[in-house]
Structure 1
Amino acid sequence: MKNEQMRKTMNGALVLTIAALVAKALSALYRIPFQNIVGNTGFYVYQQIYPIYGIGMTFALNGLPVFISKLVAQAEDEERQNQLLGQIFVVLLGLAVVIFAGLQVGSGLIAQAMGDRLLQPLISSVSWMFLLMPFLAVARGYYQGTFNMFPTAISQVSEQLVRVTLIISVAVIASRHEWSVYRTGSWAMLGSVAGAVVAGGIFAGFWRHLVLHHPLKNLWQGLGPVAKLLIKDGMIICLFSALMVLLQLVDSFTVMNALQNFGLGSERAKFIKGIYDRGQPLVQLGMTVAISFASTLLPALTIALRQGKKQEYRKISLMMFHVGLALGSAATAGMIVLMPALNTLLFGDAQLSATISVYVLSVPLISVISLYNSVLQSTDNFGATLLAVLAAIVIKASCNSYLISRWGIMGSAICTDLALVGALIVLVQLLPDSVRQTPQQLSGYLGKLAGCLLVMVVGVALLSGGFQLIFGLQRLSALCLTLLGSVAGVVLFGISAIKFQLLAVDEWATLPGGKRLVRLLKQK
C-alpha cells in the first residue's frame, strides 16, 4: 500500500512538474514577441503592472494550492474535506474582494506612486483576476490533495495558452491600429483575466458537486482557526513563491522615480526600464530549467522524512542542492557569455547587455533559495521562509533607489542580487543540521563547479569572439551564434562535469538522459 502511494505521489509530481514547466515557459516566452511588437516603452508599460498580476497568479497557481492540498490530504473523511474547502473559499473570497476593491479605488494613487499616472487603467484591468483566484486555488488544492494532478495540470496549461494568445493578438491589433501603449497594456491585462476564466471553467464540475453536496450552514463552524491557519502559514508559502515578483514590484514603485532623479527625462526613463525588463523572461526561463528537474525529488524528500529515513532525507536534500545549483549556474553562465547575441536575437539589439547579465545572476541564487526552502518546509519551518522573504524585500526596498541614483539602471540589477543573497544567508543559517554540508564538502563541490563553468565560459567566449569578428552581430548571425554557443556550452560543461566528477551517479540519473549516461560511465 505504501509503495502504491509512493508511486502515485511520484507520478502526480511528474505530471504537475511537466505542466508547470510548460506553463512557465509560455509565461516567459510570450514576452519576447510582445516586446518586439510594442517596443521598449510598450514593454515598460506592461511590465510595470505585471507584478500585480504575478502575485495573484502565484496565489492561484502555486502557493495556495500547495497549502490547501496539504490540508485536504490530512482531512479524516470526505465530509470534513468539503467543509474545509468551503471554509477556505469563504476566507479567500473575502481576501479577494478586499484586494479587488483596493486596486479599483486606489488605482490612481498606485499609478502615481509608480511615477506614471497613465498606468491607472491597467491597474483597474488586472484587479479583476483576483476575484477568480479563490475559485482556482481551492479547486487546484483539492485535486492535488487527492493526488489527482491532471485537472490542475490541464488548467495551468490552458490558462497560459489562452492568456498568451490573447496578449499577442492584442499587440498585433494595437500595432495595426496605432493604439497608444497604455491602451495596448490595458487590453493585454484583460487577456490575463480571460485566461483565468477559462481555467476556472475546467473546474465547473468540482464546484457544482461542492455546492450541491455540502450544507452552507457547516461553513461557520470552526471558520476562525481555518482562517488563522490559512493566513499564517498559507500566505507565507505564497509570499515565498512570489519572491521574484515581489522584488519586481519594488522595481515598479522605485525605478522610474529613481531614474528621473538620476537625470533622465520621463520618456527616456520609460525606455530604459523597458530594456531592463528584458531580463525578466530570461530569469524566469533559467529558474524553470534549474528548479523543475530537482523539484521532482520533493515528494521523495517528504516521504523519507515521514518514514524517519534520515540518511535518505540527507541524500535527497544534497541531490537537490547539487543538481539545482549546477543547472542554474550553467544556464546563467551560458546566458551571460552569449548575452549580446541573445539580446540581439530576442529583442533586436544588444542594449544594456551588461545590466541584464548582472540581473540574470539571480537565477542560481533563487534556484538554491527555492531548494533550501523546500527542505525547510518539509519540516514545517515556515518561520524561516518568512524571515528570508522579509530580508530580501527590506534589502531591495531600502537600497534600490540609492543604487540607481549612483549607477543608473545597473543599480537595480545589483540590488536584486544583493536581496537574494540576503535571503539565502537567512535560509542557510536556519537549515537543519542533518542536511548541512561540512566546509570541506561544500568547498569541494563549489571548486569543481567553478572549474566546469570556467571551461565552458572560456570556450564559448572564444567561439563568440571569433564568430562576431567574422560575421558581425545582426539578428541572423546572432541566431547562428546562440545556437552554436548553446551546443558548445552544453558539451563543454557536460564533459567537464564528468571529468571533474561534479555529480554523483544518483545525481546524474535525475537528469533527462542521465540514466543512459550512467550506464555509459559504468561501462568505462
Structure 2
Amino acid sequence: MSTTDWNMKTFMKGASILTISAIIVKLLAAVYRIPFQNLVGDKGFYIYQQVYPFIGIFIVWTSYGFAVAVSKLLAGSASEGESKAVKRIAFIYLTGLSVSFFILLMVFAPNFANAMGDLELVSLLRAGAYIVLVMPMLAVLKGSFQSEGRMTPVAVSNVGEQAIRVAIILIGTWIAIRAGASLYTAGEMAMWGAVIGQAAGVVILALYYRNAFKGPSVKIATWRIVKELTVVSLSVSASSLILLLFQMADSFTVYNILLAEGFMSNTAMEMKGVYDRGQPLVQMGILIASTLALAIVPLIAHHAAKREWRGAEPFISLTFRTAFLFGWAAAVGLALVLPYVNEMLFETRDGSVTLIIFSFQIFWLSLILPLTAMLQGAGKVKIPTMLLMVGLAVKIVANQLLVPILDVTGAAVAGNIGFAVIACGLLVYFKKVLPVKLAPARFYGWLFVATAGMVAVIIPWLLLADQVLFDQLSSRIGATVSALTAVGLGAGVFLLIVMKSRIMAEKEWYLLPFGKRLARVQLMLTKNRR
C-alpha cells in the first residue's frame, strides 16, 4: 500500500468505520441503562451506578487510551523487530497494571464500599475487578490494528463486546429479578456482563490477528516506552474519563451526605438512583459532540502536523460551531420536555427539576470533548488535562457545599459548575494557542432566535397535549407521545431557523456525519436567496 493511499483513502475509510462503530457503541451504552433501571428500579440503579465508575475508568483508559498510545508507538517504529518489542513491553506493562488494580480492588473492596457508605457493594466491586484482567490483550491488539490502518476488526470488536455486554446485563438481570434475587445480586450480574463483554472483544480481535507477539524483537529502551504509553494514554483518554470521574465523585459523596443530613438509607439510595437517571440522558445528548471529535479532529491533526493552520481553520470553526449548536439545542430541548421524557423512560416524573439542571451538562460536555480533542491534535495535552483535574476538584468541593442544602439537586448544580470551569478554561487556552475565529457574532444571534422559536413551539404544544392526551391515554403512553412529538416539532423549528439563516454553509453540512440530507434541505430553503 502506498503512502498516499494510507494517508488519504485508508485513513478516511478507517475513520468513517470507527465513527459509525463509536456511534453504535455509545448508543448502546446509553440506551441499555433505561430497561435496566426499569427492571431494578431507582435503588437497583443506584447500586449499579455506585460501582460502574470503578471499572468504567479502567476500561476507557486501557481499551481506548492505551490502544491509541500503542498505535502511536507502533506507527513510529523503525522496523518489524522494534514493533514486536513495543508490543511485548506494552503487554507486560499493562499486565502489571491490571494485576495490581485487580489485587487492589479485591483486597480493598470493603474499604471502598465503606467509604461509599454501603458495605453490600463489596461483591459488585470484586466481580467488576475481573474485567481488568482482559485489558492488556485488548489494548495491544486494538493498538496493533489501528497502527496498520485496519479499523474494521477494531470496529467489529467494539460493537461486539458492547452488544454482548448489554445482552448479558439485561438478560441476566431479568433472570435474577424473576428468581427473587436481591438487587445487589442483580447488580453483580450486571458487573459480570461487563466482564464477559470485554472478554468477547478480545476473542473477536484474536480471531482477526493471531501473530501479535510472534517473531524476533530488538532491544529498545523499556522506560521510554513505558513513560510514553502512560503519558499518551492518560492525555488521550482524559476527556472521556472526566464524566466517569465526576460519577465517581458522586459515588463517594452524595449518598454519604444524604445520610449525614438525616435521610433514611433506602430513601437516600432511591434519591441517588433518581439523580443517576441523568447519566444515560447526558450520554445520548453528547453523542454528536463525541462523534465530531472522532470524525473531524483527525483532519485538524493532519493539518497541525504540517503546520498548515490556515488550512485547518475551517475545520476548527466548523467543529466548534457544530458542537455549540447541537450541544445547546440538545440541552435546552431536553430540559423543556424532561418531565415527559422522565416518565416515558423511567416510569415516574420523580426528580424532574434535578434532571433538568443535570441535562445542561450536555452543553458543557459538547464543548469540552471537541476542544480537548482539537488541542490534542495540535499536540497540546498538559494544560487541558490539568483543567480537567481542576474541574473535578471544583465538582468535589461544590458537592460538599451544595448537597447538604439542595439534596441531589445540589449535585446536579455542582456538576454544571465543574464542567463550566473546564469548558471556559479550555476556551481561553484554545484562543491563546490557536488564535482562530471560532464563530461570528451573527452565529450566536441566530442561535438565540432558533432557541426562542423552539421554546415558543414546545411549551404550547405540551400544554395542549396535557389537556388532550392524558384524558385519552395512560399516563406513561401519554408522556411518550407528548415527548416524542414535542422533540420532533422543536427540532424541526430549530433546524428550520438555523438553515434559513445559513449560519452553517451547505458545504459544511456535507463534512459532518450524515449531513448530506441537511445540506440538501438547506439548499431548497435558501435557493431564492442565492
Q: Which residue of 2 aligns with 1:288?
A: 287
Structure 2 partner of 1:461: 459
1:504 and 2:505 correspond? yes
1:187 to 186, 189, 192: 189
Partner AA of 2:280 in structure 1: P
- State how far apart, in whole Å, the 2-side matches of 1:105 and 1:114 are: 16
Aligned to 1:42: 44
**1:404 aligned residue:** 403
Q: Which residue of 2 aligns with 1:376?
A: 375
Contact 1:262–1:404 (CA<8 Å) still a contact in 2? no
Question: Secondary structure at the residue paired with 2:75?
Answer: helix
- After superposition, give the CA deviation of every residue in 1:152-179 in whole Å (9 maximum; x if it has no partner): 1011101011111111111111221111
Question: Are 2:311 and 1:309 equivalent residues in the alignment?
Answer: no
Alpha-carbon distance, 1:519 to partner: 4.0
Equivalent residue for 1:116, pick from 90, 115, 118: 118
Mapped to 2, the partners of 1:95 and 1:458 lie a distance apart of 54
- Whether contact under 8 Å (2:69, 2:228) holds in the other structure is no
Residue 2 of structure 1, CA deviation: 6.0
Matched, 1:493 2:494: yes
Q: TM-score, normalised by structure 2?
A: 0.94
Structure 1 segment 35-434 matched on structure 2, within 5 A: 35-205=37-207, 208-215=210-217, 218=218, 221-293=220-292, 295-431=294-430, 433=432
Deviation of residue 514 (structure 1)?
A: 3.1
**What RMSD over aligned residues (CA atoms) do the two structures have, in Å?**
1.9
Contact 1:62–1:241 (CA<8 Å) still a contact in 2?
A: no
Q: Report if aligned partners of 1:318, 1:435 keep a CA contact under 8 Å in 2.
A: no
How far residue 437 of structure 1 moved from its aligned partner, in angstroms, is: 5.0
Q: 1:435 to 1:381 in 2, by over 3 A?
A: closer
Per the alignment, do residues 121 and 88 of structure 1 end up closer, same or farther by CA in structure 2, a change over 3 Å counting? Answer: same
Matched residue count: 520
Between the two proteins, what is the percent identity of the paired residues? 29
Give 1:85 shift: 1.5
Picking from 465, 469, 474, the partner of 1:471 is 469
CA 522–485 in structure 1, closer or farther in 2 if over 3 Å, else same: closer
TM-score (norm 1): 0.95
CA distances 1:14-53 after superposition (whole Å, capped 9, x unpaired): 1001101101111111110111011111111011111112
Greater CA drift, 244-253 or 293-302: 293-302
Deviation at 1:510, TM superposition (A): 3.0
Deviates more, 1:478-487 or 1:429-438: 429-438
Give the corresponding residue for 1:516. 520
3-state SS of 1:236 partner: helix
Instruction: State the AA in 1 paired with 2:482.
Output: L
Looking at structure 2, the residues matched to 236 and 435 of structure 1 have their Cα atoms a distance apart, in angstroms, of 19
Tell me, yes or no, if the aligned pair for 1:129 and 1:196 is still in contact at 8 Å. yes
- Offset of residue 316 of structure 1: 0.5
Letter in 2 for 1:177: A
Q: Which residue of 2 aligns with 1:445?
A: 443
CA distance in 1, matches of 2:73, 2:446: 42
Could you give the per-residue CA deviations for residues 56-114 of structure 1, whole angstroms, max 9, x where no partner exists?
22123322222222222222232222211211111111111111110000000000000
Contact 1:52 1:249 in 2 (8 A): yes
1:447-498 per-residue CA deviation (whole Å, 9 max, x = no partner) reads 3212211211221111111111222371111111122112101210111102
| Greater displacement, 54-63 / 1-10 | 1-10
Question: Is contact 2:43–2:269 with CA below 8 Å preserved after alignment?
Answer: yes
Correspondence for 1:23: 25
For the residues of structure 1 that align with 2:431 and 2:463, how far apart are their CA atoms? 46
